[in-house]
């Protein structure tokens, strides 16, 4: 049986015994119905449909990988988000890790899973997480390479594609442009400048 050490330490997990099972890649994951149905329209429908899944308290999920489901469950159980960079823990993360092909694929898989499971709000959480990480990185050489630029609009577009939109205050020209919108413009301009040199 699958055990996520971080997940089982969550206060939401320790409070009472799990009463439902998710099967992902032949692994059984014990979960709490009260936690997963609050945020997920998919789980709510499956466990209250009167069909096989609701009677057996067991849901088989074929379209989501185990690593991705682990991230989704951690989010549902309010476990702090772990960086998904294409890196090992021993080296310093850079902007290249945040926008690498591997990291983009992982993030897109996670956002697809949230969309499939009808979980709203996660895209905002991921945008803020990415925005916070961008603020921490050093953007000059050798920390940032031009090859990374092509992935920046793709990464930001993924989050918008799954439902995040800029708050109105960022679109109001009377207000100073700041936050998410400012970072998006900065990254997009950087991409265009470097792309024009090729």
pLDDT digits (tens, 9 = 90+) for 69-98: 988 888 888 876 666 655 544 455 566 666
Alpha helices in the chain (DSSP H): 5-8, 11-14, 33-39, 41-47, 52-56, 66-76, 95-98, 101-116, 122-136, 151-161, 168-171, 179-197
Cα separation, 99 vs 84, whole angstroms? 10
Domain residue spans in the chain? Answer: 1-80, 85-198
Confidence of residue 40 (pLDDT cuts 50, 70, 90): very high
Q: What percent of the chain has pLDDT over 90?
A: 10
Cα separation, 31 vs 47, whole angstroms? 12
In tens, the pLDDT along 158-188 reads 766 766 555 555 444 434 444 554 555 555 5
Q: pTM value? A: 0.68
The correct CATH number of 1-80 out of 3.30.710.10, 3.20.20.70, 3.90.1150.10, 3.10.350.10 is 3.30.710.10
């Amino acid at each position: 049986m699958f055990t996520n050490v971080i997940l089982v330490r969550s206060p939401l997990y320790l409070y009472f015994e799990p009463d439902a099972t998710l099967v992902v890649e032949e692994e059984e994951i014990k979960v709490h119905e009260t936690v997963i149905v609050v945020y997920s329209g998919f789980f709510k429908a499956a466990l209250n449909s009167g069909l096989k899944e609701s009677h057996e308290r067991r849901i088989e999920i074929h379209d989501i990988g185990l690593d991705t489901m682990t991230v989704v469950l951690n989010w549902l159980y309010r476990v702090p988000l772990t960086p998904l960079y294409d890196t090992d823990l021993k080296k310093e993360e850079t902007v290249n890790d945040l926008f690498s092909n591997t990291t983009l694929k992982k993030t897109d898989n996670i956002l697809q899973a949230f969309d499939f499971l009808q979980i709203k709000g996660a895209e905002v959480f991921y945008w803020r997480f990415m925005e916070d990480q961008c603020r921490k990185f050093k953007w000059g050489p050798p920390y940032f390479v031009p090859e990374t630029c092509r992935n920046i609009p793709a990464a930001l577009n993924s989050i918008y594609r799954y439902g995040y939109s800029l708050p109105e205050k960022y679109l109001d020209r009377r207000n100073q442009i700041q936050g998410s919108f400012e970072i998006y413009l900065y990254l997009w301009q950087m991409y265009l400048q470097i792309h024009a040199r090729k």
